[in-house]
Structures are given as C-alpha cells and as structure tokens.
Amino acid sequence: MACIILGKKVYTPLRGQPNVIIQIPFTEWLAFISENHTLLDRQPLRYKMMLEEDNPLRTYKFFMFECSWVLYNEMTISAREGLDSTIILPYFEKGTSLEFSLIKKEVSLFRKEDMELYYNKLLRTSPSSYNVSLDSLSKWNMDILLLCIYLQSKAKAKEVQEINIDWR
C-alpha cells in the first residue's frame, strides 16, 4: 500500500503495465492511513485532521483525491518512459459499477474551467519532474488522464458516491 500511495519503489511488474489493474480498497486505505498518517501527512491532504473529524464525506474526498493523484503520477512516470500506464482504481466493497465509457462521456460534459481546475490541481500536487506534455500522451495515457480528472471531480463531491470503475 505504501508503494502505491507514496509512489516509491514501484517498478516492473507494476509500473507501465496497461494490462495490470490495481484496486485500492477504501477500507484498507483507511486502515493504512489510520496507522501511518504521520508518515503521509502532506499538503493538501491533512490526514490527522481527517481522522479526528470523523466526517464520512471528507474521508471520501481524501480517498478520491489520493486515488487521482496516485494514478496521475503513475501515468506521467510511465509516459516519460514511453510506456502506457498501469491502471490504479478506487474500490468500494458495496460500490456500484460504472463503465469507463460513461466516465468519458461525463468528463466530456465538464466545463472548460472545471477541466482546467482539476488538471491544475493534479499538476500542483505532483513533483514538477513528473509533468509531461499532453501532446506526447498516447491514447491510453490520455484516457488515464481523463480518469484522473474524473476522480478529482469526485474529490469535490457534495455526497459520497461509492463507485467501482469497470475499465473493460
């Protein structure tokens, strides 16, 4: 879990493997954060505050933000190496399934300002050395970026939506 969340020492067979899907179960993430929040506390996520507050919506937002950030970092690192990204998805035990094609349709309806907001949030929270030119992204990695933007939008949600993404 630490390798995935922190992005440290994640190498083959996990990095740059488009046929690999890693799911981050919400309950495991929360247990991991509860035990290791002092190691992970960083801007903009303040886990200690989240844990003390006991607010399900805030916890959900942190989880979705974390998933978008982890996936974005995986995508940019893979793209810099000329690889298609491994898929890293949030997972809820009782989540409803949502096909990726529906996510693409939903993202296509986002206002330009919202797209820029979510994308810029990803840029600001990732090391600048991770950033890549959008023009250089493969179709696969561009789809991954759309998924990152979708997950960012869920980090701004007004209600908890336990969704599991069907990538097929």
Euclidean distance between CA atoms 103 and 122, whole angstroms? 18
Distance CA 158, CA 89 (A): 21
In terms of residue numbers, what domain contains 24? Answer: 2-166
Distances (CA, A) of 27 to 92, 93, 96, 163: 8, 8, 16, 14
Express each pLDDT in 122-154 by its tens digit.
988 877 777 888 999 999 999 999 999 999 999
**Mean pLDDT score across all residues of the chain:** 86
Please name which of 134, 3, 155 lies closest in space to residue 76, comparing C-alpha atoms: 134
Chain segment 8-49, per-residue pLDDT in tens: 555 545 678 888 898 999 999 999 888 877 766 565 567 878
Number of domains in the chain: 1
- pLDDT (mean) for 100-123: 94
For residue 21, give the 3-state DSSP assignment. Answer: strand
Cα 24 to Cα 91: distance, rounded to the nearest angstrom = 6
